[in-house]
Amino acid sequence: MDGPEDAVRDERALVELARSDPSAFAELYRRYLPRVHAFAYRRTNDPEAAQDITSAAFERALRNLGAYRWQPGGFGPWLFRIVANELADHYRRAGRAASDRAAGAAHRLVAQAPRDPADEIGDRDAVDELLAAMSRLSPRYQQALELRYLAGLTPDEAAAAMGTSKATMAVVVHRATRALRRAMDERNGS
Amino acid sequence: MSDETRRRLEAAGERPVPPPDPGFADDLEARLRAVAASLPATGGPATAPAPSATRSGRRRRLVPGFVLAGALAIALMLAGGIGLGRPARVTTPELTGPVNVTVAMPDGAVLEDPDGMLLPDGAVITVGDDGSARIGDTTLLPGDIAVVQQGKLQIQHDGGLGVVPGTATPTAHPTPDRPHGASPPPTTAATRTPAAPTPTPVAPTPRPTPTPTPGTPDRTPAPTPTPVPQPTDTPPPTATPAPTPTPIPVIRPHLRARLLVMGPRVAVTWTETYRAKSYVLIVTVARSGTAPNPVYPGSRVLGTFARPPDLPMRFRVPDGVTELKLQVIALRWNGTVLRRSNVVTIEVPAVVE
- Please, which residues 110-149 of chain B have a Cβ atom closer than 8 Å to chain A? none
CB contact under 8 A, A118 and B17: yes
pLDDT of res. B154: 85
DSSP assignment, residue B210?
S
User: What length does chain A have?
Assistant: 190
pLDDT of res. B221: 47
CB contact under 8 A, A180 and B24: no
- Contacts of residue B334 in chain A, CB cutoff 8 Å? 59
Phi, psi of A89 (to 5 degrees): -60, -40
Name, in order, each residue with C-beta under 8 angstroms of A5's C-beta and a sequence gap of 6 or more: none
- Please, which residues 280-319 of chain B have a Cβ atom closer than 8 Å to chain A? 284, 290, 292-299
Ranges assigned E (strand) in chain B: 88-89, 95-104, 110-112, 117-118, 124-135, 138-140, 145-149, 152-156, 255-260, 265-270, 278-286, 300-305, 313-316, 323-331, 337-340, 344-347
Q: Which residue of B has its CA nearest to A29?
A: B29
pLDDT tens digits for chain B (353 residues)?
468 899 999 999 988 899 999 989 988 988 888 888 777 543 333 333 333 334 444 444 444 455 555 555 555 555 444 444 444 444 568 999 999 999 988 877 889 999 999 998 888 999 998 899 999 888 888 888 998 887 788 887 654 444 344 334 434 343 334 334 444 434 443 444 444 444 444 444 444 444 444 444 444 444 555 445 444 554 445 555 555 544 455 678 889 999 987 778 899 999 988 788 889 999 998 888 888 889 888 788 888 899 899 888 999 888 888 999 999 999 887 788 888 999 999 998 876 54
Helix (H) / strand (E) element for A78: namely: helix A75-94
Residue B114: how many other CB atoms lie within 10 Å: 29
Distance from CA of B295 to the nearest CA of A (A): 6
pLDDT of res. A43: 94
Highest mean pLDDT among A17-31, A43-57, A100-114, B156-170: A43-57
Among positive and negative, which fits the CA dihedral B220, B224, B228, B231? positive
Question: How many interchain CB pairs under 8 A, A with B?
Answer: 138
The Cα A132–Cα A102 span in angstroms is 7
Ranges assigned E (strand) in B136-182: 138-140, 145-149, 152-156
Q: Is B335 helix (H, G, I), strand (E, B) or coil?
A: coil
pLDDT of res. B288: 86
Higher pLDDT, A118 or A76: A76
Q: Is A9 helix (H, G, I), strand (E, B) or coil?
A: helix
Q: How open is the CA angle B12-B13-B19, to the nearest 5 degrees?
A: 105
- Contacts of residue A48 in chain B, CB cutoff 8 Å? 295-296
**Structure confidence at residue A190 as a pLDDT band (50, 70, 90):** low
Q: Please give the full DSSP string across B37-49, using - where no structure is assigned.
A: HHTTTTT---SPP
**Structure confidence at residue A29 as a pLDDT band (50, 70, 90):** very high
The Cα B327–Cα B245 span in angstroms is 24
Among positive and negative, which fits the CA dihedral A111, A115, A121, A124? negative
pTM (global) more than 0.80: no
Pick A59's closest partner by Cβ from B19, B21, B32. B32
Closest CA to B336 of B10, B62, B51: B51
